[in-house]
Chain A
């Protein structure tokens, strides 16, 4: 039985300062699946994820993400429905972990009671009162993850989440992603290389020259 599609892109082009970040992407992603976007530096992995998150707009082509048209739809609505984790860290450096999560949860009217549980799940339970700028890069990534757990997005978009994770971190992350997909969300993440995971078997999407060059499931 064919699954619903959470992402469809047809000849998608994204330009930035006259340079084509994406140069005609053709892509379909089924709902409730895990996909890994791989490719060299500058291939267009981050740009693809940002397009799916509604953080950049299509210069030409067509697309639908989580039921929202990328050309004529409300991108603000799209951003509220997806969960984004960039590799630069999340939210405000001068606020504590708790304050950032309270701000974000209040913005989307999510229950504040779940904050402690989400922070503990990602290993930041003891750092709730720590200012974000005092966290390490890996810990800032976990703050973003805690937020994703809180908001229960239907589509998770993670930009190189495995970067700067040790073996223990990778095992934790694999388990988390498996739980998220089992709970009904779709996950698209980027990585330089295919995932070497014993437990996850994602679909691989290879990006080269701003287009999808191939892949395996």
Chain B
């Protein structure tokens, strides 16, 4: 019952958090003394990036590991990994777009060969590659296995990409919320709105994941019906 209730409330709570974030971010919080109103992207970009790089990609990776591990192997894990990776693509694209919108007036360019931007773009290509790999294999078990291995390989790549390009160049700003000695750099209503945006976008991820998962289950049951029909037809070949 609790599970059903939380599933029913997920959508409304998500919308409420996001609506609050946008209201606070656009009208209530003050402009930054240096960036002015450009700072309002702070309530979108970091949260979207957090979901893209850690929550969704992380969910896909963990589900892939669980699929490969014999004890937890099931097509449920494969479905979760697939759906999470699809949502990840959306969030990665949003990260790059919102980052570019902020970068244009700040750096003067839509794109810079910055460590964070480049590694995020590469991650986006990896996520698209995962989806391409799934489309290239018809056999469900083979598809699940290969996708799971690719997801794990991609996850290994993330820190390697991050550190390799970190020594190359960086324009992207450093820690925004906390510095290395745990000093909070964002204050007051801005800090609370930022926190709310993280919660809101994380809930959005889980809402989208759930919706996509349900679609996938429906698609598979339709496929199963077609398969049962194909089996009957094939068996009738033997009788004719």
**Interfacial residues, chain A to chain B (CB-CB below 8 A):** 13, 15-20, 23-24, 57, 208-211, 213
Report which of A18, A209, A210, A211 forms a contact with B227, defined as CB distance below 8 A.
A18
Query: B106 interface residue, CB < 8 Å from A?
Result: no
Report which of B223, B230, B240 forms a contact with A19, defined as CB distance below 8 A.
B230
Verify B231–A20 contact, CB threshold 8 A: yes
**Residue ID in chain B nearest A40 by CB atoms:** B237
> Which of B223, B234, B236 counts the most A-chain CB atoms under 10 A from its CB?
B234
User: In the complex, given contacts A20-B231, A24-B235, A210-B237, what are 20 additional A-B residue pairs having Cβ atoms less than 8 angstroms apart?
Assistant: A15-B227, A16-B139, A17-B138, A18-B223, A18-B226, A18-B227, A19-B230, A19-B234, A20-B227, A23-B231, A23-B235, A24-B231, A208-B237, A208-B238, A209-B236, A209-B237, A209-B239, A209-B240, A210-B235, A211-B238
**Interfacial residues, chain B to chain A (CB-CB below 8 A):** 138-139, 141, 223, 226-227, 230-231, 234-240
16 pairs, CB–CB < 8 Å, chain A vs chain B: A16-B138, A16-B139, A18-B138, A18-B230, A19-B230, A20-B230, A20-B234, A24-B231, A209-B238, A209-B239, A210-B234, A210-B235, A210-B237, A210-B238, A211-B235, A211-B238
**Residue ID in chain B nearest A207 by CB atoms:** B238
CB neighbours (8 Å) of B141 from chain A are: 57
CB neighbours (8 Å) of B237 from chain A are: 208-210
Give the top 7 A-B pairs by smallest Cβ distance, nearest first: A209-B238, A209-B237, A208-B238, A17-B138, A23-B234, A20-B234, A20-B231
CB distance from A191 to the nearest CB of B (A): 18
CB neighbours (8 Å) of A57 from chain B are: 141
Verify B235–A209 contact, CB threshold 8 A: yes
**Residue ID in chain A nearest B238 by CB atoms:** A209
Instruction: State in angstroms the CA–CA spacing of A16 and B234 once bound together.
Output: 13
Interface on chain B toward A: helix, strand, loop, or mixed SS?
helix
CB neighbours (8 Å) of A17 from chain B are: 138-139
CB distance from B136 to the nearest CB of A (A): 12
Instruction: State in angstroms the CA–CA spacing of A208 and B236 once bound together.
Output: 9
CB neighbours (8 Å) of A213 from chain B are: 238
CB neighbours (8 Å) of A16 from chain B are: 138-139
Verify A13–B139 contact, CB threshold 8 A: no
Instruction: State in angstroms the CA–CA spacing of A121 and B227 once bound together.
Output: 47
CB neighbours (8 Å) of A20 from chain B are: 227, 230-231, 234
Instruction: State in angstroms the CA–CA spacing of A18 and B238 once bound together.
Output: 19
Instruction: State in angstroms the CA–CA spacing of A211 and B236 once bound together.
Output: 10
Say yes or no: A209-B234 contact (C-beta < 8 A), given A16-B139, A17-B139, A18-B138. yes
CB neighbours (8 Å) of A24 from chain B are: 231, 235
CB distance from A50 to the nearest CB of B (A): 14
Instruction: State in angstroms the CA–CA spacing of A57 and B141 once bound together.
Output: 10
Instruction: State in angstroms the CA–CA spacing of A20 and B227 once bound together.
Output: 8
Instruction: State in angstroms the CA–CA spacing of A57 and B226 once bound together.
Output: 20
CB neighbours (8 Å) of A15 from chain B are: 139, 227
CB neighbours (8 Å) of B239 from chain A are: 209
Instruction: State in angstroms the CA–CA spacing of A199 and B238 once bound together.
Output: 31
**Residue ID in chain A nearest B142 by CB atoms:** A57
**Residue ID in chain B nearest A56 by CB atoms:** B139
CB neighbours (8 Å) of A210 from chain B are: 234-235, 237-238
CB distance from B199 to the nearest CB of A (A): 42
CB distance from A3 to the nearest CB of B (A): 27
Instruction: State in angstroms the CA–CA spacing of A23 and B230 once bound together.
Output: 9
Instruction: State in angstroms the CA–CA spacing of A62 and B238 once bound together.
Output: 21
Instruction: State in angstroms the CA–CA spacing of A210 and B226 once bound together.
Output: 17
CB distance from A59 to the nearest CB of B (A): 9
> Which of A16, A17, A23, A211 counts the most B-chain CB atoms under 10 A from its CB?
A23
